[in-house]
Amino acid sequence: MAKIDIDISATIIDEFTRSMGSIVKANLPSTATTLKGTIVSIDNDDAVVELDGSTVTTTAELQVYAVAGDRVIVELGDHAATVIRNMTHRGGTPDIPNGDYQGYGTT
C-alpha cells in the first residue's frame, strides 16, 4: 500500500474533530438512569438525597416540589443528579403562598 503524504493544517484537523465529535455525541443513546431515593435536606433549589441501597448522600437539582423525608425519583446522567419526580406528593405541589416555588423550604 502506498503512503500518501498530505500536509493538512492543525486548524482543519481541529475543526473536523470538533464537528465529528458533536455529530457522534448527538447520535448516542441517552446514558441517564433513574434511581429512587429519600430527601435528607433541602437548600434553595438543591436537595441532598440518599439513594436507595447507599448510605452516601448526593446533591441533586430540584425540578419538583419536595421536603425532607419525601421519596423521590432521581435522574443521574451527564455528571449531574436531578430530582424529576416526587412519589410522596404525587398529586402536585401543596399550596405555596404567592406561588413562590423558589427555595421550597429548608429542613
Q: Residue 25 has what pLDDT?
A: 62
Residues with Cβ within 8 Å of 35's Cβ and at least 6 positions away in sequence, in order, are 51, 52, 73, 74, 76
Q: Residue 35 has what pLDDT?
A: 93
CA dihedral 105, 41, 51, 32 (to 10 degrees): 50
Give pTM, 2 decimals. Answer: 0.59
Instruction: Give CA–CA dist 35/52, Å, rounded.
Output: 7
Fold of the domain spanning 33-90: OB fold (Dihydrolipoamide Acetyltransferase, E2P) (2.40.50)
Asked if pLDDT for residue 63 goes beyond 70, the answer is yes
Instruction: Give CA–CA dist 53/58, Å, rounded.
Output: 13
Instruction: Give CA–CA dist 83/36, Å, rounded.
Output: 9
Show me where the domains of the chain are located: 33-90
Asked if pLDDT for residue 40 goes beyond 90, the answer is yes
Q: Which three cell numbers stand for residue 84?
A: 424529576
